[in-house]
Amino acid sequence: MATRNLCAVAPAPRTPAEDVDGLPEGGAAAARAAVERLFPGRYAPVDGPHGDVCVWVGTYGETVLVVGDAVGAGEARVPEGWGVYRYGFQTVALAASFEVEVAGRRRLVALSPESVDHEEGASLPFEAAFRGAVGVVDADGLCVAAQQWMFGARADAPDPAAWAGPVAPHAFRPAGAVAGAGGSGTEAAVPARNGNQPGRAGRPGRFSRFRRRLGYGS
């Protein structure tokens, strides 16, 4: 099973969920304009069938949501005063992380199935419900809560590919990539749920809800 590093990134002037939950998605033209503004020259729109080279974009007012394999925001031209909200998921190790940078402050949490592996900055408001006296009480819940706090109520699965289609429906590929590379060229224009990937035996209880939602078994 190939390793995938899925990431959702949202440059936004406020917590992205406020716009994602409260505004309609802006359409293909708005997505193209946002990508060119934030990542000039990096991505090209996909107007037909495509493969795994794609990222997916949704716009909600000023908020831009970008989801795909190892999507980064370090090179994005983020307007002054905006924050950047990131969530990442590594499909083989089942490791996750979330990061928020706003007004010079940064919060970063990296999780494995049983523990917090690394953290920086002050806790965000939603975290307290998932932490006990030592470590993380509910790693599954903490990751989904982070997604929903950042990206809205429809972000309800650990792998961003599972929820990206409804909230980030517009497909792009790296500029210069061949359309359909990495796939047959006949895939649907929304991310797959990875349900065709083999189970990972011998690890019961590790991110169990994550595993079931992604088709890895119980």
Q: How confident is the model at residue 136 (pLDDT cuts 50, 70, 90)?
A: low
pLDDT at position 52 is 55
Task: Find the domain containing 103 and state its range.
Answer: 5-214
The DSSP bridge pattern shows strands 43-45 and 170-174 to be antiparallel
Question: pTM of the full predicted structure?
Answer: 0.74
Tokens for 124? 């965000």
pLDDT at position 105 is 92
How many distinct structural domains can be found in the chain? 1
pLDDT in tens, 38-64: 888 888 888 766 565 578 899 999 999
How far, in Å, CA of 169 to CA of 85, rounded? 19
The string of DSSP letters for the chain reads ----EEEEEEEESS-HHHHHHHS----HHHHHHHHHHHSTTTEEE--S-B-TT-EEEEEETTEEEEEEET---TT--PPTT-EEEEEEEETTTTEEEEEEEETTEEEEEEEETTEEEEEESPPPGGGGGGB-SSSBS-HHHHHHHHHHHHH-TT--SSSGGGTHHHHS-EEEEETTPPTTTTS-S-B-SS----TTSPP-TT-TTTTHHHHHHHTS--
Q: CB of 197 within 8 A of CB of 213?
A: no
Torsion of CA 164, 209, 197, 91, to 10 degrees: 70
Of the two residues 81 and 93, the one the predictor is more confident about is 81
Residues shown for the chain:
218
Q: What percent of the chain is predicted at pLDDT more than 90? A: 26
